[in-house]
Structure 1
Amino acid sequence: MAGGPGITRGGVGHDSLPWTIAMASFAAFGGILFGYDTATIGGVIAMKDWLDVFGSHDPSIGQYLGTNHKSLVVSILSAGTFFGALISFPLGDLIGRKYGLISSCLIFSLGIGLQLSTHWVTFIVGRVVAGLGVGAVSCLVPMYQSECSPKKLRGFIVGLYQFAISIGALLAAIVLNATKDENSHSSWRTPIAVQFVWAAVLGGGMLVLPESPRYLLYKNKWDAAKHSLSRLLVKPANSPEVDTEIAEIWLALEAERALGGNTYLDCFKFTANRNFLRTMTGIWLQAWQQLTGINFIFYYGTTFFKSAGISNAFIITIVCNVVGTCMCIVGIQLIDRVGRRKLMIIGAIGMMVCEYIIAIVGVTAGKTHFDASTGLS
């Protein structure tokens, strides 16, 4: 593959403030799309009208969604994102980062449209299709950023992607709280449909942004690469600055080609470049990060807070997302001061303490009896 989020070479060495702002804004909408989509379903499955449409009825507890169906509607998005992430790199190398992202936004929009249906199977298929789109976007956005953003600001701009994810989750919580009391399909359709806006902004923005010059050189499209780079540098295509950058990116590509193949299988080979160790380090860091429990708050937080006796669980969800957003700002500031490893350890300890508190509250404050047949508390 021609590059990815972890690349440290081949970026654009320019100081153009307008393009720096453009890349940061682009990161924001890519992250907002991912964060909003992830956080929306947690509130949707707790809404009365959604339960009336998709749930079952029990005279003693009213409308409810069984454990199997609840697990399916929440987790099936992740199945889509898994395959979306797998296809993102071939897609990005086949049609480019720019049109790969536009295509991903179209796929995502199709999935959102399907989720507006009142038919269970269509809703579930929509979750899968949306997952394909958001999975591809979550990989292609950092790839595009790392290849087009200024070298000295690349880490900061790519880091903004995570900040934007937390902003997206916060926006989802706010929209869900605003529509939860509507006695119609709009209560859950509106939060879902808002995602069309994020996809339109992201896809529309890509139409006016240049293709990655690194990708164009990877495809041996020298003239197109010079034109793209001239837009990023705000310099004429035949200027010495463009020629210098082109030569540097080309040398970086040649160095990567000299290291060997560029397939998924090569990531798991025991090479002198320690491909296997690097790949497994990345995989397990991401896997354990997902297993820390934060997705419980995203997906089931509203339901959990209701079962714990909180009258307005949607407000508590907003508070959780505000805290997450603020701490993300703190984390971005501390990455280069404290260090990646130490900051991860501090964050993990903090999460462990807080999750023990959540578990204790869940056990002691729950007011209703757990029904194994429905999965409800």
Structure 2
Amino acid sequence: MAGGAGGTGEGISTASLAWSIIMASFAAFGGILFGYDTGTIGGVIAMEDWLTTFGTFSTEPIAGAVNNHYLAANNKSLVVSILSAGTFFGALLAFPLGDMVGRKWGLVSACVIFCLGVGLQLDVHWATFVVGRVIAGVGVGAVSCLVPMYQSECSPKSIRGLIVGLYQLAITIGALLATIVLNATKNQHSHSAWRTPIAIQFAWAFILGGGMMLLPESPRYLLYKDNLPAARKALSRLMTRPEDSPEVEAEIAEISLALEAERQLANNSYIDCFRNTANRNSFRTWTGILLQGFQQLTGINFIIYYGTTFFLSAGITNAFIVSIIVSVVNTCMTIVGVQLIDRVGRRRLLLIGALGMCVCEFIIAIVGVTAGKTTGSGAKVNIPAQRVLIAFVCFYIAFFATSWGPVAWVITGEIFPLAIRAKGMSLSTASNWLWNFGIGYATPYLVDPSTTGPTGIKTAHLAVKVFFIWGATCASCFFFAYFFIAETKGLSLEQIDLLYRESTIIGSNKYRQKMLAENETFAHHESDKADDEKSHV
């Protein structure tokens, strides 16, 4: 029968559910740091004082120019996307940080790096500002990998989707706070207009770093490092039970057995992530890498990074207010989404979200190129079409916020075996930021009008037609989710290992239901397999 000395398969259960949620979800505050930073730059580059300080002066009228100052497409690409270049390397840095100093102290270190980058962005020299964006990106990249890792390893399995999904909710809250602060400071005629939104980020890093110092280290990491006493103590805090209690001992036994089985198949290198082992390491690694890439290819960061300038080009006079509305929709629907993850399931939400986003983006593109008017300084704006564009952008954001936004982080945090979790998650998160960088850098060249003169830049000037591209990529997201994403709702991390060993992707939900019905654990399965082998001898 299931359970027994090998553990119950319940994940990190606790006598105080509220305390478990508080400890595991506090790390989600890193999402505010992430979301606020990425949400700030889109408004900053549209501010008068920032353009006067860093932009190019032109005597000719140019769309988006403020007091004859504008940001050329190449510089816009650089300043927006360069953060993502830093985050790419920060995500890769999360592996040595997470495995050498731990999930907890890795996050603290990332906050210190981030603060250095923020400080450099307060300078008025272009090179210093750009370097600051890169260094801040390194911190954000490490945080974006380590937070879901810490949450997944410290959460009860029944609400792991909710807790890890809180990271995406925190990202949306951060982006919303950024739009509010930007709207409050945009009319100031001094450097404080853009320095204030940037400097506020010190507070987010201080709260995250200071709070992590008070939380326990991940017990799975401590067992990975063979530090049994510290792991027992951390589990005791997470489960709110005595260190020598049967529940703590059972959980340690379950994690240790799964870890030992993984170590027999891996040698602790990046190459192990791509080995075709019984754990299907290679398939799981490519799933994480492609999943994070497809999340970016939904086009979400086009709205986050360039929403303000896009709405301005569409003839919307108060684009800052519209950006706030979009951020409110993003935040509110993420609240809905994180509650659906453990009820509806990961796989089903991704399928529904991809289909909904695909439809919305094609409608935006079709309306934009027919009834809408998004180019021409003197062109008459079609108000009904403008409202349709705003409405379907909001619908699109709603589908993303309830599906690919939070679910991608949940799946990335739970599909990897413990022995390669830090490496697999660093590769997956690096993929997210690599695509983020590529999309952020290419978008001005795809969307903005060409400019002339000595500093003129030739662009594709797709404007709203870029949504045809996002619609097509969302269609690809649907097929990817169908063929690559297993249903892991309600399973412990060790049970997920068992699912990947024993089930197909298409049949994963049926196998998952069988595991839950029989309360099958990794330890129980291995014990039964050993008994079967003995009986055949």
TM-score > 0.5, shorter chain as reference? yes
* Distance in 1 between residues matched to 2:77 and 2:293, nearest whole Å: 19
* Distance in 2 between residues matched to 1:356 and 1:51, nearest whole Å: 33
Q: Hey, what does 1:48 align to over in structure 2? A: 48
TM-score normalised by L of structure 2: 0.65
* Distance in 2 between residues matched to 1:65 and 1:286, nearest whole Å: 30
Structure 1 pair 34/22, CA: closer, same or farther in 2 (3 Å)? same
* Distance in 2 between residues matched to 1:174 and 1:67, nearest whole Å: 26
Structure 1 pair 146/335, CA: closer, same or farther in 2 (3 Å)? closer
**RMSD of Structure 2 on Structure 1 (CA):** 2.2
Instruction: Tell whether 2:440 aligns with 1:361.
Output: no
Match of 2:250 among 241, 244, 248: 244
Structure 1 pair 141/325, CA: closer, same or farther in 2 (3 Å)? same
Q: Hey, what does 1:19 align to over in structure 2? A: 19
Match of 1:201 among 198, 207, 218: 207
Encode CA deviations 1:130-183: one digit per residue, 9 max, x unaligned.
Answer: 111111111111111112222322222112111211111111111111111111
Q: Structure 2: give runs of 5+ residues left out of the alignment.
A: 1-8, 62-67, 379-448, 464-537
Encode CA deviations 1:67-108: one digit per residue, 9 max, x unaligned.
Answer: 110000111111111111111022111011111000001111
Structure 1 pair 226/124, CA: closer, same or farther in 2 (3 Å)? same
Instruction: Tell whether 2:274 aligns with 1:265.
Output: no
**Displacement of 1:229:** 2.1
Q: Hey, what does 1:3 align to over in structure 2? A: none
Q: Structure 1: give runs of 5+ residues left out of the alignment.
A: 1-8
Structure 1 pair 341/124, CA: closer, same or farther in 2 (3 Å)? same
Structure 1 pair 358/127, CA: closer, same or farther in 2 (3 Å)? farther
Structure 1 pair 337/109, CA: closer, same or farther in 2 (3 Å)? same
Letter in 1 for 2:377: T
What does residue range 109-120 of structure 1 map to in structure 2 within 5 Å? 109-120=115-126
**Displacement of 1:109:** 0.9
8 Å contact from structure 1 (residues 23, 157) kept in 2: no
8 Å contact from structure 2 (residues 20, 239) kept in 1: no
Q: Hey, what does 2:483 align to over in structure 1? A: none
Encode CA deviations 1:253-287: one digit per residue, 9 max, x unaligned.
Answer: 21221232332211122333322222222211221
Match of 1:320 among 306, 321, 326: 326
Q: Hey, what does 1:63 align to over in structure 2? A: 69
**Higher deviation after alignment, 69-78 or 234-243:** 234-243
TM-score normalised by L of structure 1: 0.91
Q: State the secondary structure of the residue aligned to 1:101.
A: helix
8 Å contact from structure 1 (residues 24, 160) kept in 2: no
Bigger CA radius of gyration: 2
**Displacement of 1:336:** 4.0
Letter in 2 for 1:44: V
Q: What is the identity percentage for the equivalent residue pairs of Structure 1 and Structure 2? A: 68
**Displacement of 1:21:** 3.3
**Displacement of 1:19:** 2.3
Q: Hey, what does 1:371 align to over in structure 2? A: 450
What does residue range 130-279 of structure 1 map to in structure 2 within 5 Å? 130-279=136-285
Structure 1 pair 336/12, CA: closer, same or farther in 2 (3 Å)? closer
Encode CA deviations 1:17-68: one digit per residue, 9 max, x unaligned.
Answer: 3422323541431111111111111111111111011001002230001111
8 Å contact from structure 2 (residues 15, 241) kept in 1: no
